[in-house]
Amino acid sequence: MTQICRIRVKGQVQGVGFRPFVWVLAQRLGLNGWVLNDASGVLIEAQGAEMPAFLVALRTEAPPLARVDALDVEPLQSADLPGGFEIRASAGGAIRTRVTPDAATCPDCLAEIRDPSARRFGYAFTNCTHCGPRFSILRSLPYDRAQTTMAGFTMCAACNAEYSDPADRRFHAQPIACPDCGPQLWFESGGERVAGDAIAMAAMALKAGHILAIKGIGGFHLACDARSEKSVALLRKRKHRPTKPFALMGTLEIIAQSCATTPAARNLLQGPAAPIVLLERKARDHLAASIAPGSPALGWMLPYTPLHHLLMDAVKAPLVMTSANLSGEPQVICNADARAKLAQFADGFVMHDRDIARRLDDSVERVTPGGPTILRHARGRAPNTCPLPPGFDDAPHVLAMGGQMKGAFCLTRDGEALLSHHLGDLDDALTWDEYEKALGDYAALFDHQPQRVAVDAHEGFRATQAGRAMGLEVTPVYHHHAHLAACLGENGWPRDGGKVAAIVLDGLGLGPDGTIWGGELLLGDYASFERVAWIQPAPLAGGDAAQSEPWRNALVRLDAAGLAHMADKLFPDAPRALVRHACASGLNAPLSSSAGRLFDAVAAILDVCPARQSHEAEAAMALEALAIASPGAEPYMLRDAPEIPIAPLFATICEDLKGGVGKAQIAARFHATLAECFARRARRLLDEGQASAVVLTGGCFQNVVLLDYMSQALRGLRVLSHQKLPANDGSLAFGQALVVCASPKTPERS
């Protein structure tokens, strides 16, 4: 029996070859009708006897980059359909076609660039509907070639034929290109373009130990041979980057030489997002010693552009691929900036003439016992909408401004949220420019007119100030409430799902009592929260200095435990008197229950971190690395009180130290203790029926040792943690938006 249906497809279905896929499918199944893109996704009207098979295949056979979130089918009595099947122009003049994230080179394109008989043999800008640059080349909407940085390249006849053929895998592939009509690659040295094969020259330079600046998808990288200690040390010296681990690029075979890769990790590496994946390091490898000193993990990514593949084929060696930027500034994206800023680091440049419209850092992800999790949400993952949890269908247009150190904002409308990519530390002027530009971009992308603005309660945050200056209704959201809501939202917790026990272990965030929070057990939901337990506060001596100098946190904790003499012994050369004076006078020494600073304190006592951290969380990561070596540790016993007593913890740690207990053992016991204190109290809230699940959120939950101890301590309970969004401040804006959507209060007028 012939059926006529109107089919609405929602999800990531535009710019991914969905319409030609529908066209091919309809031909195969003998349906007539049409397909088009509109504001909500893809709309189909079709009729034919094979309708049931058609509806199944729309989901099961969808193109690689497509994601079908919903398929709404409405049977029609009659329709005025064409005799065959047509792809129609997008409906509605002002309708905005969504753009998808940048995608790693697909197997078909890879085969093509390696096939000497193909016309794209060796071509570094090969792409198709299933792969290639998207968001990074978009200048404005709608997403078609004229609005991308491919606008200046006129398609040749051969490319145009592919572009116009619905049966071709390059049908409507906006960045389509070939050696005759597309972008060109060249090698540059000493400010001069060097004639010849750019890939061959780059490979030779890398093998000779040189450092190169290589233009990628979302920005420039600095690259060198990761096996050469001389090259890596030189890069560290030039970049003034003493210890922070370098990201690496290699094939799966190369990666396997230094790291264990599980099937789950290979899945992440090989997905179209092609993120940096943190992998457990083997005891021995062939990499330079200074690649990631002391780190139990290495961050690897696969080659994700044809340029990377060609280079990797030529070099056949692991490469450092670190983002190219001046200290504190964002990654360089344009050729002129690269020449001006990167010449001090790089001996040569691999350049091309396809502009990068938008800076996108590499995403960073890892596999935890609970599944894959995102640490940095950027290239390959953004822009991507996610459905809001049940109960938020009528959410207003909210713009949530996010935090400070890991700038990212979030838009909500019509039951969906759009979280921006990671923009970086908003203290930096260039990053701030980027943030402001992105605000406009994403609003256009999402057709979003903010009605309400959510900001962090900290008035000192740049994003908070900018949110207040917009002249809209502004709602301040407490930092750790936003963390709680972000984790709930990511897990699809319904708006009326009831209260949860949220263990928020984090860096710093302003609490309602005016002190700085960061180690809390909250009882709450999207709309409200109360503080049930917290880490005994200690002063942040010297304000910002307490963030970068772990010993300051150790000193105040030791002093509070009556162990000032230990502090004197451990930090003989530090300006201790200054810190003690600041604490006594209360000047520039705000109280904080930060879990992050507690990690710093313990790391400093165990002497596993420098006096001054050269990068964020350096001390905490060293402590985590130490604890990995001593699994299954027993927690220290701490008295049960809402304010978790920390002084006795430090007294015990010092006794252990004096008693000759190994540092790895102490580090592990500290992790176990923190987990145990919070888990015990959270469990009680569930036992008493006050909460129905435990939420784990905040930057400290990037620490897999902590996550592991916590999961063990919470065994048998329903636990919600982060997977699709970062546990750190990168997802703060998403939580802020949800709190505002659920907020019963009338917001204040800015």
Whole-angstrom distance, CA of residue 565 vs CA of residue 567:
5
Q: CB of 16 within 8 A of CB of 100?
A: yes
Number of residues located near Zn ion, criterion CB under 5 A = 10
Nearer to Fe ion, 130 or 483 (CB): 483
Stretch that binds Fe ion, among 107-115, 227-235, 565-573, 727-735 (CB under 5 A): 727-735
Minimum CB distance to Fe ion, residue 699 (Å): 6
Site string for Zn ion, 163-192 (x = CB under 5 A): ---------------x-xx-----------
Q: Which does 268 bind (CB under 5 to 8 A by kind): Fe ion, Zn ion, none?
A: none
CB-wise, 428 or 729, nearer to Fe ion? Answer: 729
> Judged by CB, which is closer to Fe ion: 618, or 729?
729
Cis peptide upstream of residue 383 (ω within 30 degrees of 0): yes
- What is the chain's length? 750
**Residue pointed to by tokens 């994230």:** 101
Planar angle of CA 357, 359, 363, nearest 5 degrees? 135
Closest CA to 329 of 402, 434, 251: 434
Please name the residue that has the structure tokens 């908070």.
464
156's contact among Zn ion, Fe ion, none, with CB below 5 to 8 A by partner kind, is Zn ion
Q: Rule CB under 5 A: is residue 118 a binding residue for Zn ion?
A: no
Per the listing, tokens 């772990």 go with 550
- We find the least distance from the C-beta atom of residue 130 to Zn ion, in angstroms, to be 5
In the complex, what is the shortest distance from the CB of residue 94 to Zn ion, in angstroms, rounded to a whole number? 31
* Short-list 322, 368, 272, CA closest to 66: 272
- Cβ nearer to Zn ion, comparing 135 with 392: 135
User: Measured at CB, which residue is nearest to Fe ion?
Assistant: 506
Among 729, 737, 740, 741, binds Fe ion (CB under 5 A): 729
CB of 322 or CB of 594, closer to Fe ion: 594
CA–centroid distance for 684 within its chain = 33
Contact 14, 4 (CB under 8 A): no
Q: Using CA atoms, how far apart are residues 246 and 288, in angstroms rounded to an integer?
A: 11
Binding range to Zn ion, per CB under 5 A, among 104-112, 531-539, 551-559, 716-724: 104-112
45 belongs to the binding site for Fe ion (CB under 5 A): no
Decide whether 109 or 502 has the Cβ nearer to Zn ion: 109
Q: How far apart are CB 137 and Zn ion at their closest, in Å?
A: 15
Bridge pairing between strands 398-400 and 385-387? unpaired
Task: Decide which of Fe ion, Zn ion, none touches 201; Cβ closer than 5 to 8 Å per partner kind.
Answer: none
Q: Which stretch binds Zn ion (CB under 5 A): 102-110, 133-141, 291-299, 487-495?
A: 102-110
Q: Are 250 and 318 in contact, with CB atoms under 8 Å apart?
A: yes
Residue 206 binding: pick among Fe ion, Zn ion, none (C-beta 5-8 Å cut-off by kind)? none
Name the burial class of residue 253, with classes exposed (0-12), middle (13-18) and buried (19+) by CB atoms within 10 angstroms of its CB: exposed
Alpha carbons within 13 A on the beta-carbon side of 350: 30
Q: Which is nearer to Zn ion, 174 or 592 (CB)?
A: 174
* Cα 282 from Cα 585, distance rounded (Å): 49
Whole-angstrom CA distances from 546 to 24, 307, 513, 555, 621 are 62, 43, 21, 11, 17
128 touches, from Zn ion, Fe ion, none (C-beta below 5 to 8 Å by class): Zn ion
- DSSP 8-state symbol, 702: G
Whether 10 and 41 have beta carbons less than 8 Å apart is answered as: yes
Return the number of the residue (231 or 697) whose C-beta is nearest Fe ion: 697
Residue 466 interacting with Zn ion (CB under 5 A): no
| Least separation in angstroms between CB 131 and Zn ion | 3
Residue 506 interface partner, choices Fe ion, Zn ion, none, CB cut-off 5-8 Å depending on type: Fe ion
- The candidate with the shortest Cα–Cα distance to 312, out of 356, 360, 274, 364, is 274
> Read out DSSP for 525-539?
-SS-EEEEEEEPPEE
Phi, psi angle pair for 525, to nearest 5°? -140, -160
Question: Does residue 156 belong to the site contacting Zn ion (CB under 5 A)?
Answer: yes
Q: Is 150 in the site for Zn ion (CB under 5 A)?
A: no
Between 405 and 622, name the residue whose CB sits nearer to Fe ion.
405
Q: C-beta of 478: minimal distance to Fe ion in Å?
A: 11
Cβ closer to Zn ion: 176 or 457? 176
E-strand ranges in 409-552 read 410-413, 416-419, 452-456, 473-477, 500-510, 516-524, 529-535, 538-539
Q: Which does 214 bind (CB under 5 to 8 A by kind): Fe ion, Zn ion, none?
A: none
Q: Cβ closer to Zn ion: 179 or 497?
A: 179
Contact between residue 379 and residue 136 where contact means Cβ atoms under 8 Å apart: yes
CB of 528 to Fe ion, least distance (A): 19
Q: What residue type is assigned to position 214 of the chain?
A: I
Q: How far is the CB of 159 from Zn ion (least distance, A)?
A: 3
The distance from CA 551 to its chain's CA centroid, rounded to whole angstroms, is 30
How far apart CA 698 and CA 728 sit, in angstroms, is 5
Name the minimum Å distance from CB 519 to Fe ion.
11
CA distance 124 to 214: 12
CB of 217 to Zn ion, least distance (A): 14
Q: Which does 130 bind (CB under 5 to 8 A by kind): Zn ion, Fe ion, none?
A: Zn ion
Tokens of 727: 């546990």
Residue 58 binds: one of Fe ion, Zn ion, none (C-beta under 5 to 8 A by kind):
none
Ramachandran bin of 698, using left for φ above 0, alpha for ψ from -120 to 50, beta for the remaining angles: left
Residue closer to Zn ion by CB (options 123, 478) is 123
- Shortest Å distance, C-beta 481 to Fe ion: 11
Binding partner of 106, given Fe ion, Zn ion, none, CB within 5-8 angstroms per partner class: Zn ion
Which entry of Fe ion, Zn ion, none binds 235, CB below 5 to 8 A by partner kind? none
By CB under 5 A, the residues from 121 to 140 that bind Zn ion are 128, 130-131
Q: How far is the CB of 41 from Zn ion (least distance, A)?
A: 23
Can you point out the beta strands (E) in 458-594?
473-477, 500-510, 516-524, 529-535, 538-539, 591-592
Residue type, 594: S
Distances in Å between the Cα of 704 and the Cα atoms of 244, 464, 699 are 18, 31, 11
> Taking CB under 5 A as the rule, does residue 113 contact Zn ion?
no
Q: Is cis: bond before 494, omega within 30 of 0?
A: no
* 593 touches 518 (CB < 8 A): yes
The binder of 729, among Fe ion, Zn ion, none, by C-beta within 5 to 8 A per type, is: Fe ion
Q: What is the DSSP letter of 704?
A: H
Provide the strand spans (E) within 671-717: 694-697
Q: Between residues 11 and 402, which has the closer beta carbon with respect to Fe ion?
A: 402
Contact with Zn ion (CB under 5 A) among 51, 65, 109, 310:
109
Contact between 66 and Zn ion by CB under 5 A: the answer reads no
- State which residue, 181 or 443, has the beta carbon closest to Zn ion: 181
Rounded to a whole number of angstroms, the minimum distance from the CB of residue 125 to Zn ion is: 10
503-522 positions binding Fe ion, by CB under 5 A:
506
Contact flag: residue 473 with Fe ion (CB under 5 A): no
Contact stretch for Fe ion (CB under 5 A) within 287-295, 641-649, 653-661, 724-732: 724-732
Residues that bind Zn ion (CB under 5 A): 106, 109, 128, 130-131, 156, 159, 178, 180-181
Binding stretches for Fe ion (CB under 5 A): 506, 729
